[in-house]
């Protein structure tokens, strides 16, 4: 392709349809809004009832937004929500597997119950959603699957062996799906946030000792803000990344180099 054809339209998601699991809170809300701002209509399956705030943010961008209160860990639900998305919005171009949880306990107390709960949402649901999305994307010969990874995709995880295991697993799923789906013009990548100032890190940030411990590990010397992730997400969802495949993009302020 001649380089003269490049334009900022490569980053546009106009007329695209995106699905963001867990897309009405935390990082997922920022991802949903980023996709909407780029022009995509957004479908959000979530276990948290939408109070209207996130939907207003999305529809204010002039796109369609559908919220489906459901549990994607339950058998058959991933297939149902993908079909519902296609029926209501006409297609599915982008899947962002964002839904996840992190349960903690010392390793000797971290039992099978917590392990299974985290595997169900962090890994099994991401696999099922990707499987169902691929069944739509392969016939249309295009698509983007973006799996939300973590620093613990690369590191161990104190007090949560299941979090580290599932985030390592999601990287493996990303690479495996890339290897098979690339021939159908489907890009499968991971997005790995570093330490971000969200509700789940409040306790760590409010404790001067643990807050400084984190900052000492980040060359940028600040916690990430959700805004820092939005451009990276749009890049991975857009035609600008059509030759990026099987990659885990870290947005961590340099955390992994120190």
Catalytic residues: 163
Q: Which residue has the tokens 């100032």?
A: 197
Q: What is the DSSP letter of 78?
A: H
Residue 257 burial by Cβ neighbours in a 10 Å radius (0-12, 13-18, 19+): exposed
CA–CA separation, 124 and 127 (whole Å): 5
Residue 215 CB burial class (10 angstroms; 0-12, 13-18, ≥19):
middle
- Closest-CA residue to 247 (of 182, 174, 180): 174
Exposed e or buried b per residue across 181-203, where buried means at least 16 C-beta atoms within 10 angstroms of its C-beta: beeeebbbbbbbbbbbebeebee
With tokens 């939408």, the residue in question is 50
Dist CA 31 CA 21 (whole Å): 10
Q: What would the two tokens of residue 225 be?
A: 């803000």
Around Cβ 219, how many Cβ atoms within 10 Å? 11
Decide if 27 contacts 229 (C-beta within 8 A): yes
Lookup result for tokens 């411990």: 213
End-to-end CA, the chain:
38
């Amino acid at each position: 392709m001649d380089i003269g054809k490049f334009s900022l339209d490569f980053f546009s998601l106009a007329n695209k349809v995106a699905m963001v699991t867990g897309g009405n809170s935390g990082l997922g809300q920022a991802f949903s809004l980023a996709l909407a701002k780029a022009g995509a209509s957004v479908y959000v399956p979530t276990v948290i009832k939408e109070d209207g705030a996130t939907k207003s943010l999305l529809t204010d961008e002039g796109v369609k937004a559908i919220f489906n209160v459901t549990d994607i860990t339950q058998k058959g639900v991933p297939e149902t929500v993908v079909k519902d998305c296609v029926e209501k919005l006409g297609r599915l171009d982008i899947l962002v597997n964002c839904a996840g949880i992190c349960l903690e306990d010392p390793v000797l107390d971290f039992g099978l119950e917590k392990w299974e709960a985290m595997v169900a949402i962090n890994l099994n649901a991401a696999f099922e959603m990707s499987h169902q999305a691929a069944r739509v994307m392969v016939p249309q010969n295009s698509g983007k699957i973006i799996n939300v990874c973590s620093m613990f995709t690369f590191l161990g995880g104190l007090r949560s062996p299941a979090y580290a295991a599932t985030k390592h697993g999601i990287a493996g799923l990303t690479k495996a799906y890339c290897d098979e789906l690339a021939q159908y013009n489907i890009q499968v990548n991971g997005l790995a946030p570093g330490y971000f100032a969200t509700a789940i890190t409040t306790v760590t940030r409010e404790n001067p000792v643990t807050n400084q411990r984190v900052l000492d590990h980040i060359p940028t010397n600040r916690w990430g803000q959700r805004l820092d992730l939005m451009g990276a997400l749009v890049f991975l969802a857009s035609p600008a990344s059509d030759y990026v495949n099987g990659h885990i993009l870290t947005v961590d302020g340099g955390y992994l180099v120190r």
